């Protein structure tokens, strides 16, 4: 079984991430799998755990706009669009932006953009704060299975292959966040 961290142990959970670990953590609706987005080996472990094609990118979750700003090609985003997105954050809103050169190719997969969310979910935001930046966020499940909504489900899916679990409550959303294209407003995932 993965090392379990409580909310009082966020610094230890963040240290695990900085050492290249893969951590399950609660989000608004489901548990997510996270790692440092700039650590390719950790990222590849997540995709191996999920048995997910590498062409499918992941989103990044953050505690505040400053943690995601560098990943956005701001020159390609009209100021009114950016203002609208920022007004929706923090909250359960994921937006796809034109990506900057700071986004590792493996994070975006075959996509031209990058999906970003500034979360209002206290445990996930606190983890990002302790880590000091945005984290990979992808649902904790093998590809094609239902996302984990409990530690027991995480154990069934992954056993001791996870390095850690932030053992804290999920948010009150019933399903993962809607993903929209920031420029067009089109719903990509409902």
Domains of the chain (ranges; CATH) run 3-189 (3.90.870.10)
CB-based contact 31:168 (threshold 8 Å): no
Answer yes or no: are the C-beta atoms of 147 and 140 closer than 8 Å.
yes
Q: What is the DSSP string of 16-81?
A: HHHTT--EEEE-SSSEEEE--TT-HHHHHHHHHHHT--TTB--EEEESSGGGTGGGB-GGGS-HHH
| Close Cβ partners of 138 (under 8 Å, ≥ 6 residues apart) | 32, 33, 34, 46, 50, 52, 58, 59
Q: What's the rounded Cα separation, in Å, for the pair 23 and 3?
A: 9
What is the pLDDT, as a whole number, of residue 1? 58
Q: Which residues of 91-124 are buried (b: 16+ CB within 10 A; e: fewer)?
A: ebbbbbbbbeeebbebbbeebebbbbbbbebebb
Structure-token match 């240290």, residue found = 15
**Residue 72: exposed, middle, or buried by beta-carbon count in 10 A (0-12, 13-18, 19+)?**
buried
- C-beta separation of 134 from 37 below 8 A: yes
pLDDT of residue 2: 84
pTM for the whole structure: 0.96
Mind listing the pLDDT tens digit for each residue in 142-177?
A: 999 999 999 999 999 999 999 999 999 999 999 888
Write out residues in the chain with pLDDT < 50, as ranges: none
Determine contact, residues 173/33, Cβ cutoff 8 Å: no
Dihedral (CA of 141, 130, 164, 5) sign: negative
């Amino acid at each position: 079984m993965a090392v379990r961290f409580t909310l009082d142990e966020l610094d230890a959970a963040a240290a695990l991430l900085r050492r290249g670990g893969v951590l399950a953590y609660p989000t608004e609706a489901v548990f997510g799998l996270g790692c440092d987005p700039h650590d390719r080996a950790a990222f590849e472990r997540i995709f191996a755990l999920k048995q997910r094609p590498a062409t499918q990118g992941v989103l990044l979750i953050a505690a505040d706009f400053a943690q995601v700003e560098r990943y956005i090609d701001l020159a390609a985003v009209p100021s009114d669009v950016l203002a609208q997105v920022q007004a929706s954050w923090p909250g359960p809103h994921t937006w796809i932006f034109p990506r900057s050169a700071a986004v590792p190719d493996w994070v975006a997969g075959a996509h031209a953009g990058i999906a970003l969310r500034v979360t209002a979910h206290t445990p996930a935001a606190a983890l990002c704060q302790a880590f000091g930046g945005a984290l990979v966020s992808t649902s904790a499940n093998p590809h094609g299975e239902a996302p984990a909504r409990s530690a027991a489900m995480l154990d069934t899916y992954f056993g001791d292959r996870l390095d850690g679990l932030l053992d804290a409550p999920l948010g009150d959303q019933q399903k993962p966040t809607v993903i929209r294209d920031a420029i067009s407003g089109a719903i990509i995932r409902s």
